Amino acid sequence: MTSSDARGAARRALRAGRVLTGLGLLAVAAAYVRAIAFTDIEAVQGPAQKIMYVHVPSAWCAFLAFGLVGICSGLFLWLGDRRLDTFSEASAEVGVVLTGLVLITGPMWGKPIWGTWWQWEPRLTSTLFLFFLFVGYLTLRRTMFDPAERARYSAVVGILGAMLVPFIHLSVYMFRTIHPRPVVLNPEGPTMPGSFVATLLSSLAAFTLLYLGLVTMRYGLGRLRELREARHVPAA
């Protein structure tokens, strides 16, 4: 692929990312309307239960983002394609934003329901570690100037970070914890009324669309920057 082909592909990714992000934001707005105005208030937890419709999709997309970082990092180490490294960086950045939302909305639900903002229990603590680990991953990338070395080291950290994701999902089964078990992805099937599940699934779809838009736009941005920097590096 020539340099101008690569720049054309990056610009196309940016355009696609903008469109998908716009659609994703509209879908999230529609999911808000459905959750707030057209979904019943849960009798025991009250309106605070509706925080689940933004907390769970944020967590799902964050885990998807970090899972893809792990997969693309592994593929990068195998194939050596720089685009996989750029995608990993894009997905990690979006994942950190989403994990931040998980860590903010979780305590907002915990305070009225548990009576406390935070508990040092396995699910919460390991999610906090995951957040710090990927903040470290992004920091590492900014402190290394050799692109090949940066990509290689980041790939190793990305794979190790992604390995935390299944552990976090299963932590509610492995340890005694006050965090609720998964309400949809659990062996006994959904543990909520059908209308609640439908709202949660529509919110999941909206957040996933927004994640796809953000990661595509961030990937296009990363590729354009890389190609510009490559033009200014003198040949060895």
Partner 1 sequence: MFLLREPPANGGFMIAAYTVVAVVLAGYSVMLMVRARKEEKREQ
Output 14 or 64, the one with its CB closest to partner 1: 14
Nearest distance from C-beta of residue 100 to partner 1, angstroms: 7
Output 108 or 178, the one with its CB closest to partner 1: 108
How many Å apart are CA 192 and CA 39, to the nearest integer? 12
Nearest distance from C-beta of residue 11 to partner 1, angstroms: 7
Helices marked H in the chain: 3-37, 52-79, 82-114, 122-143, 147-162, 164-174, 194-232
Cα 230 → chain centroid: 29
Nearest distance from C-beta of residue 150 to partner 1, angstroms: 19
Contact 210, 25 (CB under 8 A): yes
| Site residues (vs partner 1, CB under 8 A) | 7, 11, 14, 17-18, 21, 25, 28, 32, 36, 41-48, 50-51, 54-55, 58, 97, 100-101, 104-105, 108-109, 111-112, 210, 213-214, 217-218, 220-221, 224-225, 228
Output 46 or 80, the one with its CB closest to partner 1: 46
Output 69 or 159, the one with its CB closest to partner 1: 69
The pair of structure tokens assigned to 225 is 């920057």
How many Å apart are CA 30 and CA 43, to the nearest integer? 24
Output 127 or 155, the one with its CB closest to partner 1: 127
Output 35 or 165, the one with its CB closest to partner 1: 35
Nearest distance from C-beta of residue 217 to partner 1, angstroms: 5
How many Å apart are CA 228 and CA 236, to the nearest integer? 17
Nearest distance from C-beta of residue 133 to partner 1, angstroms: 20
| Nearest to 123, CA basis, from 89, 68, 114, 193 | 114
**Radius of gyration for the alpha carbons in the chain, expressed in angstroms and rounded:** 20
Nearest distance from C-beta of residue 58 to partner 1, angstroms: 7
